[in-house]
Structure formats: structure tokens, C-alpha cells
Amino acid sequence: MRLLSTALCTTVAVALLAGCSGMSQTTPSVGSSSAAKTQNNYSQGKHVPHWQYPASLIPKIAPLRSLQVIGRLAHHGANSGGIYASEFSGSSIYGYQHKNTGNNPPTCSVGPVSYPNGIAVDGKGNLVDPDGGSRSVIIWSGPGMCGSEAGSFSDAYGQPSDASSADAVNGNIAVGNIFGTSGAGGIATCTLSGGCTSFLTNSNMYEVAGVAMDNSGNCWADAINSAGTATLTYFAGCTGSGQATTGFSNTYYGGIDIDKNGNLVTISAFTPAVYVYSGCNPACTLVGGPFAMQGDAVFGHLNKQSMTLAVGDYVSGNIDVYYYSPSALTYWYSFNNGLTASYDVEGAAYNPRSDQ
């Protein structure tokens, strides 16, 4: 995909994510994890992740999974807020307590799901799953954790990888498609009642990872172009042909969130680092970063106060939690109780989400 200083980062079967060897990373000296930490072998080339497949090859069924964890969970019933976590090869999305420094097990779960990537919570507390395996979007009701299923719809435009909405039950939903049915990825614009009705593309976007929609209905797609360069594309009103942003300096693509000040919080997936920008409509101004992350992650989201950021660390099999401000990112703790590292922990989302 791209040359690193010491190794070639290659995609596997035109995947959303890529495995790289020879990459070193710095572990912050502050903070500690109460979870049992797994040594990060990414830099030694020992980790062989299971990556996403092309849309045409993904079976439209949920993968089989051990019932050991699921059997001890109440499927619904957690009423307070918390953190959702998903695994790419898992069949459930798990709900955890909001501050899980004790590495406690999940309190609830929803499912089945099939190859989810960037799960999200909307402004009403509804959980949104861009379900890659079934090529659909599934919504569970909030504001409590692990509510009943509100509905789902098919994404006929491609393979969903991320989603963003202020109100997924009653409003518009931007669904990032890693690839479209005819090749390059884009943003499907959808509603729960009407499904997906348009597909936003731009020559700046070939493989789409993250998508964000602000409360005014504007959209951004974090992608790579056909040359493998990380790009950010702005769609005013989430319509039209889009504009390539300027001043976007991420090394790789990844997830996007919006903090309480309206800044775009973007993950450069294989660096791994976080960059914070203002504007990007289409001119970006770098507010903070790059901030090194504890482990490797593609997707993550902020809490309501934009004080903490939770990401899915797919190498160590953890949810990593950081103290966040636009000018700093500090590792706090990790948890992994109930998660399976070999299933590639990928999605992380707070409920309630950032009060953007």
C-alpha cells in the first residue's frame, strides 16, 4: 500500500486494513492498564490479522462464535451509558460500563452482527452498526445501552465500513462504503425508513475507511486515493461531488469523530497517531497532533464531554482509552475482558457520544 521506513505495508485481498511489519512505536510513559496486556508484536511482524474481504466475497451470514461469553450476558437491560466494543470476526457488539478501569466483563450485548468495522452512536444514543458481512446497517435503540433493535436497511451501493448520524432512527445517515459495487468507495446517504438513495463519490476517494456527519448535515470521508495517499473529502450538506480538503497531513486513512468544539478528530491507522483539525470545509487547519497512540487502531470515538477517546486496538485485542484535548492525547487504561484478540477488536464508541 505504502512504503514505510523499514517495511512495505501491503493490503490483503483489497482490504480495509493492512498488516505491516518492521514498524516501531512509542508507548506513553503515563497511565497504566489494569487489563492483562498483550505484547504488541506488530513491530516484529508476528501479528497476522484477519482483514476485511471484498464485498463480493463476504458471506451474508454472521460468522460462528464461541458462546462462552455470550451465554453469561443479559442480551439487553443496561440502562446507563457506557462503551460499546466490536470485533471484526465476532457476532455480537458488547456494552461495557463507562469507566472500566477494573477490566470488568461486558454488561450486555446486541447481535447478531457480521464483519462490523466502525460502529457508532448517534446524538440520541442509538447504536449504529455498518454491517459489512450482511451489507446492511443495523440500528439498536438508545439512549440506554443494548436496547432493542430499531430496524435495519440494506446498503445496495457497496460494503459499509463506518456510519455517522445525528438521529439514525428519524434522520439522515452517512454510511461510508469501503468499496462500491462498481469499484471505488464512497458515502451512501440513507434513512432507516427509506434506505439508501444516493452514493457520493469523488476521485479523491478510492478506499473509504471513516465517515463523519456534523449536526448541520455536512459530511467528510477519510480515504485513500488510487495512489494509496490518505485523503479527506468534504461534502457540503452531504450532497454533490465533494471537495478535496487542503492541509490534511495524515499518513494513513482511519476513523473520524467530531469533538465538542467542532474539530475533526482523525486516526492515522498504521502510524498509529491522532490528528485534530478545524475547518476542513475544505481548508483544514491542524489544531493538534500527531499524537502517538498506545496501540494500533483504525476506529474510535469520543465521550460526551470530549474528554476521553476510546479506540479498538486490533493488535493487542484491547479497547484503549485516552485522555483527550485538542492539544494533547494521553494514554489512560485498556480493557479486554470478554474480547478475543484473534477476532480483531476494531470498533469502539461511547454512549452518549461527543456533544459536538
Determine the straight-line distance between the first and last CA of the chain, rounded to whole angstroms. 33
Q: Domains in the chain: how many in total? A: 1
Domain contains 257? yes
Q: How far is CA 213 from the centre of its chain?
A: 14
Could you say which DSSP state residue 108 is in? E
CB-CB contact of 212 with 299 (8 Å): no
Could you say which DSSP state residue 118 is in? B
pTM recorded for the entire structure: 0.83
pLDDT in tens, the chain (356 residues): 222 222 222 222 224 443 332 223 232 333 333 333 332 333 333 333 333 444 444 444 333 333 333 333 444 444 579 999 999 999 999 999 999 999 999 999 999 999 999 999 999 999 999 999 999 999 999 999 999 999 999 999 999 999 999 999 999 999 999 999 989 999 999 999 999 999 999 999 999 999 999 999 999 999 999 999 999 999 999 999 999 999 999 999 999 999 999 999 999 999 999 999 999 999 999 999 999 999 999 999 999 999 999 999 999 999 999 999 999 999 999 999 999 999 999 999 999 999 99
Domain contains 63? yes
Domain contains 341? yes
Rounded CA separation 328/325 (Å): 5
CB-CB contact of 133 with 115 (8 Å): yes
CATH number where 306 lies: 2.120.10.30
Domain contains 356? no
Q: What SS3 state is found at 238? A: helix
Range of the domain at 21: 2-351
Rounded CA separation 220/330 (Å): 26
Domain contains 143? yes
- Please name the helix (run of DSSP H) or strand (run of DSSP E) that holds residue 309, with its range, or none: strand 308-313
CB-CB contact of 205 with 222 (8 Å): no
CB-CB contact of 266 with 222 (8 Å): yes
Other beta carbons less than 10 A from residue 145's beta carbon: 29
Rounded CA separation 273/255 (Å): 11
**Amino acid at the residue 63:** P
Q: Which single residue is written with the C-alpha cell 474510535?
A: 300
